[in-house]
Chains A and B, each alone.
Chain A
Amino acid sequence: MRQHSAFKVVGLHLAVIVLFFLAQFVLPEYHHLAVTRVMILAIFALGYNLLFGYTGLLSLGHALFFAAGLYGAGLTAFHLGWSVPAAFAAGVGAGFFASLVIGVVALRTSGVAFMIVTMMFSQVAYLASLYFTTYTRGEEGLVMPEAARHFDLFGVTFSLTDPSLRYNIALLLLAVTLIVILIVVRGPMGRVLIAIRENEPRTLMLGYNTFLIKLKAFVISGTISSVAGAAYALLFAYVGSSFASIQYSIEALLFTLLGGAGTVLGPILGTFAMFYLIDIVSGFTVAYLLVTGIALIALVLFFPKGILGTIRERWMTWLP
Protein backbone atom coordinates (compact mmCIF):
# COMPACT_ATOMS: atom_id res chain seq x y z
CA MET A 1 0.00 0.00 0.00
CA ARG A 2 2.81 2.40 0.87
CA GLN A 3 4.67 1.51 -2.34
CA HIS A 4 1.52 2.28 -4.24
CA SER A 5 1.07 5.68 -2.61
CA ALA A 6 4.72 6.57 -3.24
CA PHE A 7 4.09 5.89 -6.93
CA LYS A 8 1.02 8.11 -6.91
CA VAL A 9 2.90 10.90 -5.14
CA VAL A 10 5.77 10.93 -7.62
CA GLY A 11 3.33 10.69 -10.51
CA LEU A 12 1.23 13.61 -9.32
CA HIS A 13 4.19 15.94 -8.83
CA LEU A 14 5.69 14.93 -12.15
CA ALA A 15 2.34 15.67 -13.77
CA VAL A 16 2.30 19.17 -12.27
CA ILE A 17 5.75 19.92 -13.68
CA VAL A 18 4.83 18.50 -17.09
CA LEU A 19 1.65 20.56 -17.08
CA PHE A 20 3.64 23.74 -16.45
CA PHE A 21 6.07 22.70 -19.19
CA LEU A 22 3.35 22.12 -21.76
CA ALA A 23 1.46 25.26 -20.80
CA GLN A 24 4.16 27.48 -22.31
CA PHE A 25 3.26 26.32 -25.81
CA VAL A 26 -0.37 27.34 -25.56
CA LEU A 27 -0.32 30.37 -23.25
CA PRO A 28 -0.84 33.78 -24.83
CA GLU A 29 1.96 36.29 -24.27
CA TYR A 30 0.45 38.04 -21.24
CA HIS A 31 -0.25 34.83 -19.39
CA HIS A 32 3.09 33.39 -20.42
CA LEU A 33 4.77 36.17 -18.44
CA ALA A 34 2.23 35.94 -15.64
CA VAL A 35 2.85 32.22 -15.14
CA THR A 36 6.60 32.87 -15.10
CA ARG A 37 6.01 35.23 -12.17
CA VAL A 38 3.65 32.77 -10.52
CA MET A 39 6.30 30.06 -10.64
CA ILE A 40 8.90 32.30 -8.99
CA LEU A 41 6.45 33.43 -6.30
CA ALA A 42 5.41 29.82 -5.80
CA ILE A 43 9.02 28.96 -4.94
CA PHE A 44 8.81 31.67 -2.26
CA ALA A 45 5.57 30.16 -0.94
CA LEU A 46 7.02 26.63 -1.01
CA GLY A 47 9.90 27.80 1.15
CA TYR A 48 7.51 29.57 3.50
CA ASN A 49 5.30 26.52 3.81
CA LEU A 50 8.17 24.32 4.98
CA LEU A 51 8.41 26.48 8.07
CA PHE A 52 4.77 27.41 8.58
CA GLY A 53 2.89 24.40 7.24
CA TYR A 54 5.20 21.61 8.34
CA THR A 55 7.07 22.97 11.35
CA GLY A 56 4.22 25.13 12.66
CA LEU A 57 6.30 28.31 12.92
CA LEU A 58 4.39 31.34 11.68
CA SER A 59 6.93 33.86 10.43
CA LEU A 60 5.77 37.34 9.51
CA GLY A 61 9.18 38.26 8.18
CA HIS A 62 9.92 36.07 5.19
CA ALA A 63 10.07 39.10 2.91
CA LEU A 64 13.49 39.59 4.47
CA PHE A 65 14.80 36.38 2.91
CA PHE A 66 13.16 37.05 -0.43
CA ALA A 67 14.76 40.52 -0.29
CA ALA A 68 18.13 39.06 0.72
CA GLY A 69 18.10 37.03 -2.47
CA LEU A 70 16.77 39.94 -4.48
CA TYR A 71 19.35 42.45 -3.27
CA GLY A 72 22.16 39.91 -2.99
CA ALA A 73 21.76 39.22 -6.71
CA GLY A 74 20.65 42.69 -7.79
CA LEU A 75 23.29 44.77 -6.03
CA THR A 76 26.22 42.56 -7.05
CA ALA A 77 25.03 42.56 -10.65
CA PHE A 78 24.35 46.30 -10.70
CA HIS A 79 27.29 47.71 -8.74
CA LEU A 80 29.97 45.07 -9.10
CA GLY A 81 29.06 43.87 -12.55
CA TRP A 82 28.92 40.22 -11.47
CA SER A 83 27.76 37.73 -14.08
CA VAL A 84 24.26 36.29 -13.77
CA PRO A 85 25.27 32.93 -12.25
CA ALA A 86 27.62 34.63 -9.77
CA ALA A 87 24.99 37.18 -8.80
CA PHE A 88 22.44 34.41 -8.35
CA ALA A 89 24.82 32.56 -6.07
CA ALA A 90 25.44 35.77 -4.12
CA GLY A 91 21.70 36.20 -3.61
CA VAL A 92 21.21 32.65 -2.38
CA GLY A 93 24.30 32.95 -0.18
CA ALA A 94 22.92 36.15 1.34
CA GLY A 95 19.63 34.39 2.04
CA PHE A 96 21.39 31.43 3.62
CA PHE A 97 23.47 33.66 5.86
CA ALA A 98 20.53 35.90 6.82
CA SER A 99 18.31 32.95 7.70
CA LEU A 100 21.05 31.34 9.76
CA VAL A 101 21.69 34.47 11.85
CA ILE A 102 18.04 35.44 12.25
CA GLY A 103 17.05 31.84 12.92
CA VAL A 104 19.53 31.49 15.77
CA VAL A 105 18.11 34.62 17.42
CA ALA A 106 14.39 34.39 16.58
CA LEU A 107 14.02 30.70 17.43
CA ARG A 108 14.71 31.50 21.06
CA THR A 109 11.11 32.72 21.07
CA SER A 110 7.93 30.92 20.14
CA GLY A 111 4.30 31.61 19.36
CA VAL A 112 3.25 35.24 19.18
CA ALA A 113 6.69 36.54 20.13
CA PHE A 114 8.19 34.63 17.19
CA MET A 115 5.75 36.29 14.78
CA ILE A 116 6.50 39.76 16.12
CA VAL A 117 10.25 39.23 16.23
CA THR A 118 10.42 37.97 12.65
CA MET A 119 8.22 40.86 11.54
CA MET A 120 10.49 43.36 13.29
CA PHE A 121 13.69 41.95 11.80
CA SER A 122 12.06 42.11 8.41
CA GLN A 123 11.03 45.69 9.05
CA VAL A 124 14.63 46.54 9.94
CA ALA A 125 15.74 45.10 6.59
CA TYR A 126 13.04 47.07 4.78
CA LEU A 127 14.12 50.30 6.51
CA ALA A 128 17.73 49.48 5.67
CA SER A 129 16.83 49.18 1.99
CA LEU A 130 15.37 52.69 2.26
CA TYR A 131 18.21 54.10 4.33
CA PHE A 132 20.98 52.96 1.99
CA THR A 133 19.20 54.60 -0.87
CA THR A 134 22.53 55.58 -2.49
CA TYR A 135 22.96 51.93 -3.39
CA THR A 136 19.40 50.68 -3.60
CA ARG A 137 17.45 53.75 -4.72
CA GLY A 138 14.77 52.72 -2.23
CA GLU A 139 11.22 52.40 -3.47
CA GLU A 140 12.16 53.57 -6.93
CA GLY A 141 14.59 50.67 -7.20
CA LEU A 142 17.22 49.64 -9.70
CA VAL A 143 16.85 48.31 -13.21
CA MET A 144 19.44 45.67 -14.04
CA PRO A 145 22.09 46.80 -16.55
CA GLU A 146 22.36 45.34 -20.02
CA ALA A 147 25.35 43.23 -18.96
CA ALA A 148 23.16 41.32 -16.50
CA ARG A 149 20.61 40.41 -19.14
CA HIS A 150 22.62 37.56 -20.63
CA PHE A 151 25.18 35.04 -19.52
CA ASP A 152 27.46 32.35 -20.87
CA LEU A 153 27.33 28.83 -19.56
CA PHE A 154 29.02 25.78 -21.08
CA GLY A 155 30.03 27.92 -24.07
CA VAL A 156 26.45 28.92 -24.89
CA THR A 157 25.10 32.45 -24.51
CA PHE A 158 21.70 32.73 -22.85
CA SER A 159 19.65 35.90 -23.14
CA LEU A 160 17.28 36.70 -20.30
CA THR A 161 15.27 38.97 -22.55
CA ASP A 162 13.94 35.82 -24.19
CA PRO A 163 10.57 35.08 -22.50
CA SER A 164 10.78 31.39 -23.30
CA LEU A 165 14.15 31.04 -21.58
CA ARG A 166 12.86 32.92 -18.54
CA TYR A 167 9.83 30.65 -18.37
CA ASN A 168 11.96 27.53 -18.44
CA ILE A 169 14.49 28.80 -15.92
CA ALA A 170 11.61 29.55 -13.56
CA LEU A 171 10.19 26.09 -14.22
CA LEU A 172 13.55 24.43 -13.61
CA LEU A 173 13.95 26.25 -10.28
CA LEU A 174 10.41 25.35 -9.30
CA ALA A 175 10.98 21.69 -10.14
CA VAL A 176 14.22 21.56 -8.16
CA THR A 177 12.55 23.25 -5.18
CA LEU A 178 9.65 20.83 -5.34
CA ILE A 179 12.04 17.86 -5.31
CA VAL A 180 13.96 19.28 -2.34
CA ILE A 181 10.72 19.85 -0.42
CA LEU A 182 9.45 16.36 -1.21
CA ILE A 183 12.69 14.76 -0.06
CA VAL A 184 12.65 16.76 3.17
CA VAL A 185 9.01 16.27 4.14
CA ARG A 186 8.74 12.62 3.17
CA GLY A 187 12.01 11.68 4.82
CA PRO A 188 12.98 11.33 8.50
CA MET A 189 13.36 15.08 8.91
CA GLY A 190 9.81 15.77 7.74
CA ARG A 191 8.48 13.34 10.32
CA VAL A 192 10.25 15.27 13.09
CA LEU A 193 9.13 18.64 11.71
CA ILE A 194 5.51 17.55 11.89
CA ALA A 195 6.12 16.20 15.40
CA ILE A 196 7.47 19.60 16.45
CA ARG A 197 4.41 21.27 14.95
CA GLU A 198 2.07 18.94 16.81
CA ASN A 199 3.81 18.86 20.20
CA GLU A 200 7.27 20.27 20.69
CA PRO A 201 7.89 19.38 24.38
CA ARG A 202 7.04 15.76 23.63
CA THR A 203 9.42 15.73 20.67
CA LEU A 204 12.20 17.00 22.90
CA MET A 205 11.53 14.09 25.26
CA LEU A 206 11.89 11.65 22.38
CA GLY A 207 15.53 12.67 22.13
CA TYR A 208 15.35 15.27 19.37
CA ASN A 209 17.28 18.51 19.58
CA THR A 210 14.26 20.50 18.51
CA PHE A 211 16.09 23.81 18.41
CA LEU A 212 18.61 22.51 15.90
CA ILE A 213 15.91 20.88 13.77
CA LYS A 214 13.83 24.06 13.77
CA LEU A 215 16.95 25.99 12.81
CA LYS A 216 17.54 23.62 9.88
CA ALA A 217 13.95 24.10 8.73
CA PHE A 218 14.32 27.85 9.14
CA VAL A 219 17.51 27.96 7.07
CA ILE A 220 16.15 25.72 4.31
CA SER A 221 12.96 27.79 4.23
CA GLY A 222 14.83 31.10 4.18
CA THR A 223 17.29 29.92 1.55
CA ILE A 224 14.51 28.72 -0.75
CA SER A 225 12.83 32.11 -0.31
CA SER A 226 16.08 33.78 -1.34
CA VAL A 227 16.28 31.56 -4.44
CA ALA A 228 12.93 33.05 -5.42
CA GLY A 229 14.17 36.56 -4.68
CA ALA A 230 17.44 36.18 -6.61
CA ALA A 231 15.61 34.67 -9.57
CA TYR A 232 13.06 37.48 -9.49
CA ALA A 233 15.77 40.15 -9.59
CA LEU A 234 17.63 38.56 -12.49
CA LEU A 235 14.72 37.34 -14.59
CA PHE A 236 12.66 40.52 -14.35
CA ALA A 237 15.66 42.86 -14.12
CA TYR A 238 14.37 44.94 -11.23
CA VAL A 239 15.01 45.25 -7.50
CA GLY A 240 13.11 47.60 -5.18
CA SER A 241 12.25 48.15 -1.52
CA SER A 242 8.63 47.11 -1.84
CA PHE A 243 9.74 43.47 -2.06
CA ALA A 244 11.13 43.79 1.46
CA SER A 245 7.93 45.21 2.97
CA ILE A 246 5.66 43.43 5.43
CA GLN A 247 3.15 43.06 2.65
CA TYR A 248 5.41 40.52 0.92
CA SER A 249 5.72 38.41 4.05
CA ILE A 250 1.96 38.37 4.30
CA GLU A 251 1.60 37.33 0.70
CA ALA A 252 3.68 34.22 1.30
CA LEU A 253 1.44 33.44 4.26
CA LEU A 254 -1.70 34.03 2.22
CA PHE A 255 -0.56 31.87 -0.74
CA THR A 256 0.25 29.06 1.68
CA LEU A 257 -2.99 29.34 3.66
CA LEU A 258 -5.11 29.44 0.53
CA GLY A 259 -3.49 26.44 -1.13
CA GLY A 260 -3.25 24.51 2.11
CA ALA A 261 -0.54 24.81 4.76
CA GLY A 262 1.34 21.58 5.26
CA THR A 263 0.63 20.20 1.80
CA VAL A 264 3.44 20.06 -0.75
CA LEU A 265 1.53 21.39 -3.76
CA GLY A 266 -0.71 23.76 -1.80
CA PRO A 267 1.56 26.81 -2.04
CA ILE A 268 1.80 26.46 -5.83
CA LEU A 269 -1.96 26.25 -6.16
CA GLY A 270 -2.45 29.10 -3.69
CA THR A 271 0.02 31.37 -5.48
CA PHE A 272 -1.62 30.64 -8.81
CA ALA A 273 -5.15 31.29 -7.55
CA MET A 274 -4.30 34.42 -5.57
CA PHE A 275 -2.16 35.90 -8.33
CA TYR A 276 -4.96 35.65 -10.85
CA LEU A 277 -7.60 36.77 -8.37
CA ILE A 278 -5.66 39.94 -7.63
CA ASP A 279 -4.89 40.37 -11.31
CA ILE A 280 -8.60 40.33 -12.12
CA VAL A 281 -9.67 42.52 -9.20
CA SER A 282 -7.04 45.16 -9.88
CA GLY A 283 -8.71 45.62 -13.26
CA PHE A 284 -11.72 47.04 -11.40
CA THR A 285 -10.29 48.93 -8.45
CA VAL A 286 -7.08 50.33 -6.98
CA ALA A 287 -8.10 48.81 -3.67
CA TYR A 288 -7.22 45.29 -4.82
CA LEU A 289 -5.65 44.55 -1.44
CA LEU A 290 -9.20 44.35 -0.15
CA VAL A 291 -9.20 40.86 -1.64
CA THR A 292 -6.12 39.97 0.38
CA GLY A 293 -7.83 41.10 3.57
CA ILE A 294 -11.09 39.32 2.91
CA ALA A 295 -9.25 36.16 1.87
CA LEU A 296 -7.19 36.10 5.06
CA ILE A 297 -10.25 36.50 7.27
CA ALA A 298 -12.35 34.02 5.34
CA LEU A 299 -9.55 31.44 5.36
CA VAL A 300 -8.96 31.47 9.11
CA LEU A 301 -12.69 31.56 9.83
CA PHE A 302 -14.14 29.04 7.41
CA PHE A 303 -11.36 27.30 5.58
CA PRO A 304 -8.31 26.91 7.86
CA LYS A 305 -6.94 23.91 5.98
CA GLY A 306 -6.96 25.63 2.58
CA ILE A 307 -7.84 24.04 -0.74
CA LEU A 308 -5.50 21.04 -0.78
CA GLY A 309 -5.69 20.54 2.98
CA THR A 310 -9.44 20.07 2.67
CA ILE A 311 -9.09 17.79 -0.33
CA ARG A 312 -6.55 15.69 1.54
CA GLU A 313 -8.78 15.42 4.56
CA ARG A 314 -11.86 14.39 2.60
CA TRP A 315 -10.67 12.45 -0.39
CA MET A 316 -6.96 12.00 -0.98
CA THR A 317 -5.41 11.02 2.32
CA TRP A 318 -2.18 9.95 0.63
CA LEU A 319 -1.37 13.48 -0.48
CA PRO A 320 1.93 14.60 1.05
Chain B
Amino acid sequence: MAAVTLLHTKGLSRRFGGLKAVQNVDFDLKQGEIRALIGPNGAGKTTFVSLLSGRIVPSEGQVFFEGEEVTGDPAWRRVRKGIAYTFQITSVYAKLTAYENVALAAQSALSRSGAVRKKDLDRAVAEAIEKVGLSDRARMKAGELSYGHQRLLEVAMGLALRPKLLMLDEPTQGLSDAEIDNFCNLVRDIARTATILLIEHNMPVVMQLADSITVLNAGEILANGTPAEIRANPAVQAAYLGS
Protein backbone atom coordinates (compact mmCIF):
# COMPACT_ATOMS: atom_id res chain seq x y z
CA MET B 1 0.00 0.00 0.00
CA ALA B 2 1.41 3.35 -1.00
CA ALA B 3 1.83 5.62 1.95
CA VAL B 4 -0.77 8.38 2.01
CA THR B 5 0.18 11.71 3.47
CA LEU B 6 -2.18 12.56 6.30
CA LEU B 7 -0.74 15.88 7.35
CA HIS B 8 1.89 18.15 6.00
CA THR B 9 3.15 21.65 6.63
CA LYS B 10 4.79 24.11 4.28
CA GLY B 11 7.17 26.77 5.58
CA LEU B 12 5.48 26.84 8.96
CA SER B 13 6.88 29.59 11.23
CA ARG B 14 5.93 31.22 14.48
CA ARG B 15 7.64 34.17 16.14
CA PHE B 16 7.01 35.45 19.64
CA GLY B 17 8.30 39.00 19.52
CA GLY B 18 11.86 38.57 18.34
CA LEU B 19 12.05 34.90 19.30
CA LYS B 20 11.70 32.45 16.45
CA ALA B 21 10.03 29.50 18.16
CA VAL B 22 9.37 27.59 14.94
CA GLN B 23 11.03 28.45 11.62
CA ASN B 24 10.19 27.38 8.14
CA VAL B 25 9.23 23.81 8.95
CA ASP B 26 8.22 21.43 6.16
CA PHE B 27 6.84 18.35 7.81
CA ASP B 28 5.09 15.24 6.47
CA LEU B 29 3.18 12.65 8.39
CA LYS B 30 2.10 9.38 6.75
CA GLN B 31 -1.20 7.77 7.50
CA GLY B 32 -1.01 4.95 10.03
CA GLU B 33 2.49 5.61 11.38
CA ILE B 34 3.67 6.33 14.88
CA ARG B 35 5.89 9.36 14.62
CA ALA B 36 7.91 10.68 17.52
CA LEU B 37 8.85 14.33 17.78
CA ILE B 38 11.91 14.89 19.91
CA GLY B 39 14.36 17.66 20.61
CA PRO B 40 16.13 19.43 23.45
CA ASN B 41 14.20 21.71 25.78
CA GLY B 42 13.11 24.89 24.05
CA ALA B 43 13.39 23.31 20.60
CA GLY B 44 9.85 24.45 19.82
CA LYS B 45 8.08 21.09 20.05
CA THR B 46 5.07 22.32 21.99
CA THR B 47 4.79 25.43 19.81
CA PHE B 48 4.91 23.22 16.73
CA VAL B 49 2.10 20.90 17.84
CA SER B 50 0.12 23.92 18.98
CA LEU B 51 0.36 25.19 15.42
CA LEU B 52 -0.87 21.83 14.14
CA SER B 53 -3.77 21.71 16.59
CA GLY B 54 -4.70 25.32 15.94
CA ARG B 55 -4.23 26.55 19.48
CA ILE B 56 -1.90 29.22 18.14
CA VAL B 57 -1.83 30.76 14.69
CA PRO B 58 1.30 30.65 12.56
CA SER B 59 3.21 33.78 11.58
CA GLU B 60 3.80 32.24 8.17
CA GLY B 61 3.25 28.98 6.36
CA GLN B 62 0.45 26.51 5.84
CA VAL B 63 -0.93 23.33 7.37
CA PHE B 64 -2.67 20.68 5.24
CA PHE B 65 -4.70 17.79 6.58
CA GLU B 66 -5.88 15.06 4.21
CA GLY B 67 -4.86 17.30 1.34
CA GLU B 68 -7.05 20.16 2.49
CA GLU B 69 -5.66 23.39 3.87
CA VAL B 70 -6.59 23.89 7.54
CA THR B 71 -4.30 26.84 8.36
CA GLY B 72 -7.24 29.18 8.88
CA ASP B 73 -9.40 26.72 10.82
CA PRO B 74 -9.88 27.37 14.53
CA ALA B 75 -8.83 24.61 16.91
CA TRP B 76 -12.34 23.25 17.46
CA ARG B 77 -12.91 22.78 13.73
CA ARG B 78 -9.62 20.90 13.33
CA VAL B 79 -10.68 18.59 16.15
CA ARG B 80 -13.89 17.92 14.27
CA LYS B 81 -11.88 17.12 11.16
CA GLY B 82 -9.96 14.52 13.14
CA ILE B 83 -6.94 16.19 14.72
CA ALA B 84 -6.98 15.44 18.44
CA TYR B 85 -4.55 16.70 21.03
CA THR B 86 -4.01 15.49 24.58
CA PHE B 87 -2.58 18.02 26.95
CA GLN B 88 0.92 17.94 28.38
CA ILE B 89 -0.39 19.21 31.69
CA THR B 90 -3.28 17.00 32.68
CA SER B 91 -6.38 18.96 31.92
CA VAL B 92 -9.36 16.77 32.70
CA TYR B 93 -12.58 18.18 34.18
CA ALA B 94 -11.72 17.54 37.83
CA LYS B 95 -15.23 18.02 39.19
CA LEU B 96 -16.95 15.77 36.65
CA THR B 97 -16.93 11.98 36.69
CA ALA B 98 -14.60 10.01 34.44
CA TYR B 99 -17.72 8.97 32.51
CA GLU B 100 -18.75 12.59 31.89
CA ASN B 101 -15.22 13.50 30.81
CA VAL B 102 -15.18 10.84 28.15
CA ALA B 103 -18.83 11.47 27.24
CA LEU B 104 -17.94 15.04 26.31
CA ALA B 105 -15.36 13.77 23.85
CA ALA B 106 -17.63 11.02 22.50
CA GLN B 107 -20.54 13.43 22.09
CA SER B 108 -18.31 15.70 20.02
CA ALA B 109 -17.32 12.79 17.76
CA LEU B 110 -20.88 11.48 17.39
CA SER B 111 -22.37 14.89 16.68
CA ARG B 112 -20.24 15.07 13.53
CA SER B 113 -22.70 12.63 11.98
CA GLY B 114 -26.01 14.02 13.18
CA ALA B 115 -27.99 13.87 16.41
CA VAL B 116 -26.49 12.07 19.39
CA ARG B 117 -28.45 9.11 20.74
CA LYS B 118 -27.92 8.20 24.35
CA LYS B 119 -27.42 4.53 23.53
CA ASP B 120 -24.62 5.26 21.07
CA LEU B 121 -23.02 7.66 23.50
CA ASP B 122 -23.01 5.14 26.34
CA ARG B 123 -21.47 2.52 24.06
CA ALA B 124 -18.75 4.85 22.78
CA VAL B 125 -17.85 5.95 26.30
CA ALA B 126 -17.74 2.40 27.63
CA GLU B 127 -15.50 1.36 24.74
CA ALA B 128 -12.96 4.16 25.26
CA ILE B 129 -12.90 3.75 29.03
CA GLU B 130 -12.43 0.04 28.72
CA LYS B 131 -9.56 0.40 26.31
CA VAL B 132 -7.55 2.38 28.85
CA GLY B 133 -8.66 0.09 31.68
CA LEU B 134 -10.64 2.56 33.77
CA SER B 135 -14.03 0.83 33.59
CA ASP B 136 -14.30 0.27 37.32
CA ARG B 137 -13.55 3.94 37.98
CA ALA B 138 -16.03 5.47 35.55
CA ARG B 139 -18.24 6.90 38.29
CA MET B 140 -15.38 8.51 40.19
CA LYS B 141 -14.71 12.22 39.94
CA ALA B 142 -11.75 12.79 37.64
CA GLY B 143 -10.05 14.94 40.28
CA GLU B 144 -10.09 12.00 42.69
CA LEU B 145 -8.25 9.69 40.31
CA SER B 146 -4.52 9.10 40.76
CA TYR B 147 -2.17 11.02 38.49
CA GLY B 148 -1.49 8.00 36.30
CA HIS B 149 -5.19 7.34 35.92
CA GLN B 150 -5.82 10.96 35.01
CA ARG B 151 -3.28 10.61 32.19
CA LEU B 152 -5.10 7.49 31.01
CA LEU B 153 -8.37 9.38 31.17
CA GLU B 154 -6.81 12.02 28.91
CA VAL B 155 -5.99 9.29 26.43
CA ALA B 156 -9.51 7.87 26.68
CA MET B 157 -10.87 11.32 25.85
CA GLY B 158 -8.53 11.50 22.89
CA LEU B 159 -9.73 8.06 21.76
CA ALA B 160 -13.39 8.89 22.16
CA LEU B 161 -12.90 11.76 19.75
CA ARG B 162 -12.30 9.05 17.08
CA PRO B 163 -9.36 11.03 15.70
CA LYS B 164 -7.49 10.35 12.49
CA LEU B 165 -4.45 11.94 14.08
CA LEU B 166 -3.81 11.77 17.81
CA MET B 167 -1.11 14.06 19.16
CA LEU B 168 0.16 12.99 22.56
CA ASP B 169 2.16 15.69 24.35
CA GLU B 170 4.59 14.17 26.88
CA PRO B 171 2.17 11.38 27.77
CA THR B 172 4.50 9.39 30.02
CA GLN B 173 5.68 12.31 32.12
CA GLY B 174 5.27 11.49 35.80
CA LEU B 175 4.24 7.86 35.24
CA SER B 176 5.83 4.88 37.01
CA ASP B 177 7.73 2.24 35.01
CA ALA B 178 4.86 -0.23 35.21
CA GLU B 179 2.46 2.44 34.05
CA ILE B 180 4.77 3.30 31.15
CA ASP B 181 4.81 -0.32 29.90
CA ASN B 182 1.08 -0.39 30.07
CA PHE B 183 0.94 2.87 28.21
CA CYS B 184 3.17 1.65 25.38
CA ASN B 185 0.85 -1.28 24.77
CA LEU B 186 -2.08 1.11 24.70
CA VAL B 187 -0.41 3.35 22.13
CA ARG B 188 0.30 0.37 19.85
CA ASP B 189 -3.32 -0.60 20.16
CA ILE B 190 -4.52 2.89 19.26
CA ALA B 191 -2.13 3.02 16.30
CA ARG B 192 -4.22 0.38 14.56
CA THR B 193 -6.97 2.95 13.96
CA ALA B 194 -5.18 6.29 14.11
CA THR B 195 -1.97 7.99 13.17
CA ILE B 196 0.03 9.04 16.20
CA LEU B 197 2.33 11.97 16.77
CA LEU B 198 4.19 11.49 20.01
CA ILE B 199 6.06 14.31 21.73
CA GLU B 200 8.26 12.55 24.20
CA HIS B 201 11.37 12.98 26.34
CA ASN B 202 11.70 9.40 27.43
CA MET B 203 14.09 7.91 24.85
CA PRO B 204 13.43 4.21 25.60
CA VAL B 205 9.73 4.85 24.99
CA VAL B 206 10.47 6.67 21.74
CA MET B 207 12.82 3.97 20.45
CA GLN B 208 10.34 1.27 21.35
CA LEU B 209 7.23 2.82 19.84
CA ALA B 210 8.17 5.07 16.96
CA ASP B 211 8.20 3.99 13.33
CA SER B 212 10.10 7.15 12.53
CA ILE B 213 11.44 10.15 14.37
CA THR B 214 11.62 13.86 13.65
CA VAL B 215 14.19 15.89 15.58
CA LEU B 216 13.50 19.54 16.19
CA ASN B 217 16.24 21.92 17.26
CA ALA B 218 16.04 25.70 17.67
CA GLY B 219 12.71 25.72 15.86
CA GLU B 220 14.00 23.89 12.78
CA ILE B 221 13.92 20.29 11.65
CA LEU B 222 17.35 18.84 12.30
CA ALA B 223 16.78 15.30 11.09
CA ASN B 224 14.16 12.79 9.96
CA GLY B 225 14.55 9.03 9.98
CA THR B 226 14.08 5.66 11.58
CA PRO B 227 15.06 5.21 15.23
CA ALA B 228 18.32 3.53 14.16
CA GLU B 229 19.20 6.35 11.76
CA ILE B 230 18.49 8.98 14.33
CA ARG B 231 20.55 7.22 16.94
CA ALA B 232 23.50 7.19 14.56
CA ASN B 233 23.11 10.78 13.37
CA PRO B 234 26.05 12.92 14.53
CA ALA B 235 24.12 16.19 14.22
CA VAL B 236 21.47 14.88 16.59
CA GLN B 237 24.07 13.74 19.06
CA ALA B 238 25.70 17.17 18.92
CA ALA B 239 22.39 18.92 19.51
CA TYR B 240 21.62 16.82 22.54
CA LEU B 241 25.09 16.63 24.00
CA GLY B 242 26.85 19.69 22.65
CA SER B 243 25.05 22.87 23.57
A touches B in complex, CB < 8 A? yes
Interface, chain A (partner B; CB < 8 A):
188, 191-192, 194-195, 198-199, 201-210
Q: Does B105 contact A (CB under 8 A)?
A: yes
Residue pair A208, B108 in contact (C-beta under 8 Å): yes
Q: Is the interface of B mostly helix, strand, loop or mixed?
A: helix
B76 touches A210 (CB 8 A): yes
Determine chain A's interface SS by DSSP, over half rule: helix
Specify which chain A residues have a CB less than 8 angstroms from the CB of B91 in the assembled complex.
199, 201-202
Residues of B in contact (CB 8 Å), total: 28
- Interface stretch of the complex, out of B39-47, B95-103, B181-189, B220-228: B95-103
Chain B residues, Cβ within 8 Å of A198? 93-96
B53 interfacial contact with A, CB 8 Å: yes
0/1 per residue, B73-102, Cβ < 8 Å to A?
A: 011110110000101000111111000100
Q: Pick the contact of B76: A188, A191, A209 (CB < 8 A).
A: A209
- A191-B103 contact in complex given A205-B53, A207-B161, A208-B108, C-beta closer than 8 Å: yes
**A313 to chain B: closest CB distance in Å?**
11
CB atoms of A191 and B104 under 8 A apart: yes
Q: Is the CB of B93 within 8 A of A199?
A: yes
Contact among A194, A205, A209 for B85, CB-based, below 8 A: A205
For window 53-83 of chain B, which residues contact chain A by CB distance below 8 Å?
Answer: 53, 55, 74-77, 79-80
A309 to B29, CA, bound (A): 49
Contact A207 B80 (CB under 8 A): yes
Q: Offer 13 A-B interface pairs, CB within 8 angstroms, sorted by A.
A: A191-B107, A192-B104, A195-B96, A199-B93, A202-B93, A204-B75, A205-B55, A205-B75, A206-B157, A206-B161, A207-B77, A207-B80, A207-B161
Considering the complex of A and B, which 7 residue pairs feature the smallest CB-CB distances, nearest first? A207-B79, A207-B108, A207-B80, A198-B93, A206-B108, A202-B91, A209-B76
Contact across chains for A208 and B93 when beta carbons are under 8 A apart = no
B111 within 8 A of A: yes
User: Please, which residues of chain A bring their CB within 8 A of the CB of B79?
Assistant: 205-207
In the complex, chain A residues whose CB is within 8 Å of the CB of B85: 205
B residues with CB within 8 A of A: 53, 55, 74-77, 79-80, 85, 87, 91-96, 100, 103-105, 107-109, 111-112, 116, 157, 161
Q: Known contacts being A202-B87, A206-B157, A207-B161, is A195 close to B76, with CB within 8 Å?
A: no
Bound form: Cα–Cα A203–B157 in Å: 11
In whole Å, how far is B130's beta carbon from the nearest beta carbon of chain A?
19
Q: Count chain A CB atoms within 10 A of each CB in B74, B77, B107, B112 and give the residue with the most.
A: B107
Q: Once the chains are docked, how many angstroms separate the CA of A199 from the CA of B87?
A: 13
A204 B107 Cβ-Cβ under 8 A:
no
- CB neighbours (8 Å) of A194 from chain B are 96
Q: Is the CB of B55 within 8 A of A206?
A: no
Instruction: With CB as the reference atom, state the residue of chain A lying closest to B122.
Output: A2
Give the complex CA separation of A198 and B91 in angstroms. Answer: 11
Q: A191-B103, A191-B107, A204-B75 are in contact. List 20 more A-B contacts (CB 8 A).
A: A188-B116, A191-B100, A194-B96, A195-B96, A198-B93, A199-B91, A199-B93, A202-B91, A202-B92, A204-B76, A205-B53, A205-B55, A206-B76, A206-B79, A206-B157, A207-B80, A207-B112, A208-B108, A209-B76, A210-B76
Q: Which residue of A lies closest to B55 (CB)?
A: A205
Q: Which residues of A contact B87 (CB under 8 A)?
A: 202, 205
A299 to chain B, nearest CB (A): 20
Residue of A whose beta carbon sits closest to that of B139: A1
CA distance A204 to B56 in the complex (A): 13
State the Cβ distance, B84 to closest chain A Cβ, in Å: 8
With a CB–CB cut-off of 8 A, which chain B residues contact A208?
A: 76, 108
Most buried by B among A195, A201, A202, A205: A205
Instruction: Tell which of B77, B80, B107, B112 touches A192, judged by Cβ atoms closer than 8 Å.
Output: B107
Q: In the docked arrangement, what's the CA distance between A209 and B108, Å?
A: 10
A201 contact set on B, CB distance < 8 A: 91
Q: Which residues of A contact B109 (CB under 8 A)?
A: 207
With A188-B116, A198-B93, A198-B95: A206-B53 Cβ-Cβ less than 8 Å? no
